Amino acid sequence: MNQHTRVSQVPIPFIDLAAQRKRLGGAIDEAIARVTAHCQFILGPEVHALEAQLAAFGGARHAISCASGTDALMLVLMARGIGPGDAVICPSFTFCATAEVAVLRGATPVFADVDADTFNVNVASAKKAVATARAQGLNPKAIIVVDLFGLPADHDSIATLAAAEGLFVLDDAAQGFGATYKGRPLGSLAHATATSFFPAKPLGCYGDGGAILTDDDALAETIKSLRVHGQGTDKYDNVRIGLTGRMDTMQAAILIEKLKIFPDEILARQRVADRYGQGLAGVAIVPKLAPDCTSVWAQYTIRLLPGRRDALAEALKAEGIPTAIYYPKPLHRQTAYRQFLVADGGLAVSDRLADEVISLPMHPYLESATQDRIISAVRKACGN
Ligand SMILES: Cc1ncc(COP(=O)(O)O)c(C=O)c1O
């Protein structure tokens, strides 16, 4: 600390990966050393061990690890044969990868609106998106739902809509893996669930990584083939077109150690979220958990009246407190995506949220005193 820096200005990390690294220290080093000793860097024993543990954790028959969360989404669409002429319904208020994979497959994303309370897809709007797709001569094949910021989507209503419309449900749990919906873990709620182990995610590795969870035996087999170039039983007779989409053994070894402390970290994240909720209720709109749900709080995202968040971000920055805007533009407003369809009735909530949201530092190692500093700074900046 510079001697002129006031304690109240010591920079606070947005996500403190170093604190977790300190906690796990030796265990991670030993896990990496085991891999460098056995040298099975691709699909080594740790990959298979991790997959068994992820399947158990997510309540699915199969977990297939892969190179990233985006590959996880992509591999599922590939395995389902989704392509030109097909529509994939997805929320507009999400990270681009959710819709990107549909476009990469030659399919058409059709954007649905979200609910302001949970930030997740609004099922009535998703239903309209299905009708919009059909009216344009497209074949609605799948819906990709997102558990944004770690908050579970309304999975029962989505399942009902999907059954009525014949849609395959792919849960993009990149931000939500570890959360539960009505007592059931994400991983067990959709036909397939994709997650990301990007370092900043609640369960992150030390590079890129992802996984797919499913109960569908045939889908799991196809995905395993696709992640290795579409290989068949004979390694040099490729039976389909695939990718180099595997997870490195080193990342699997790291994730095995991180998964051991993940349940404890989820509880710590909930404690941080509760403290924010109590400290900020009344000065901002704080996120609400749907009944019978738990969140992993990938982000703690509050809402302010339009036009007020830039001043808050500036005031916090001056106190050494970082913030982030997830997301300043919904997908249907972005250059690469604005050519695609939106559900009839428009996406007013997605547009509004993009002007209102601001995310605060959130990680399991955020100490109460530091968090209180953040809460006071937000209250002060908001005139309370
Ligand atoms: C909602 C969502 N979907 C997909 C992804 C893609 O994951 P990855 O960065 O591992 O490819 C992310 C990652 O930021 C995400 O937040």
Quick one: which H or E segment has residue 8?
none
pLDDT of residue 332: 98
What percent of the chain is modeled with pLDDT above 90? 93
Nearest CA to ligand 1 atom 14: 95
2 pLDDT more than 60: no
Q: Report whether 197 contacts 203 (CB < 8 A).
A: yes
- Shortest-distance Cα residue to atom 8 of ligand 1: 69
Backbone angles phi, psi at 354, to 5 degrees: -60, -25
Q: What gap in Å lies between CA 216 and CA 169, rounded to an integer?
A: 12
Flag whether pLDDT at 3 surpasses 60.
Answer: no
204 CA distance to ligand 1 middle (Å): 11
Confidence of residue 7 (pLDDT cuts 50, 70, 90): low
pLDDT at 307 over 60: yes
Q: How confident is the model at residue 4 (pLDDT cuts 50, 70, 90)?
A: low
Average pLDDT for the chain: 96
Cα 378 to ligand 1 centre (Å) = 28
pLDDT tens, position by position, 283-305: 999 998 988 999 999 999 999 98
What is the pLDDT, as a whole number, of residue 207? 97
Strand partners, 181: 184, 293
Nearest CA to ligand 1 atom 12: 174
**Within 10 A of 324 (CB to CB), how many other CB atoms are there?**
17
Q: Which atom of ligand 1 is nearest to the CA of 73?
A: 4
How is residue 353 written in tokens? 């949220």
What pLDDT score was predicted for residue 353? 97
| Three-state secondary structure of 152-188 | CCCHHHHHHHHHHHCCEEEEECCCCCCCEECCEECCC
d(CA 47, CA 85): 36
Q: What are phi and psi of 70, to 5 degrees?
A: -65, -45
Residue nearest to ligand 1 atom 7, measured at CA: 69
List all residues whose CB is within 6 A of at least one atom of ligand 1.
68-70, 94-95, 97-98, 146, 172, 174-175, 196, 198, 208, 210
The pLDDT, as a whole number, for residue 8 is 65
Query: By the 8 A CB rule, do 83 and 55 touch?
Result: no
Spell out the residues 6+ positions from residue 164 whose beta carbon is closer than 8 angstroms to its own: none
CB neighbour class for 38 (10 Å; exposed up to 12, middle 13-18, buried from 19): exposed
Q: How far is the CA of 2 from the centre of ligand 1 (A)?
A: 37
Count other Cβ atoms within 10 Å, centred on residue 166: 10
Q: Is the pLDDT of residue 170 over 60?
A: yes
pLDDT band at 229 (very low <50, low <70, confident <90, very high): very high
Give the β-pairing of 168-172 and 192-196: parallel
Q: Which tens digits make up the pLDDT trace of 275-284? A: 999 999 999 9
Mean pLDDT of 33-43: 98
Q: Which of 6-15, 130-139, 205-214, 315-324 has the lowest mean pLDDT?
A: 6-15
Tell me: pLDDT of 273 over 60. Answer: yes
pLDDT for position 10:
83
Residue 335 has pLDDT above 70, yes or no: yes
Is pLDDT of 167 > 80?
yes
Mean pLDDT throughout 210-215? 98
Closest atom of ligand 1 to 148 CA is 1
Angle at 377 between CA 376 and CA 378, to 5 degrees: 90
Q: How far is the CA of 99 from the centre of ligand 1 (A)?
A: 11
Average pLDDT over residues 128-145: 98
- pLDDT category at 1 given cuts 50, 70, 90 is very low
Counting ligand 1 atoms within 8 A of each CB, the residue from 66, 198, 243, 331 with the most, and so the one to mutate, is 198
Gyration radius from the chain CA atoms: 21
Identify which of 65, 70, 227 to mutate to test ligand 1's pocket (most ligand atoms within 8 A of the CB).
70
Average pLDDT value for residue range 180-199: 98
pLDDT digits (tens, 9 = 90+) for 60-107: 999 999 999 999 999 999 999 999 999 999 999 999 999 999 999 999
Q: How far is the CA of 178 from the centre of ligand 1 (A)?
A: 15
d(CA 363, CA 340): 35
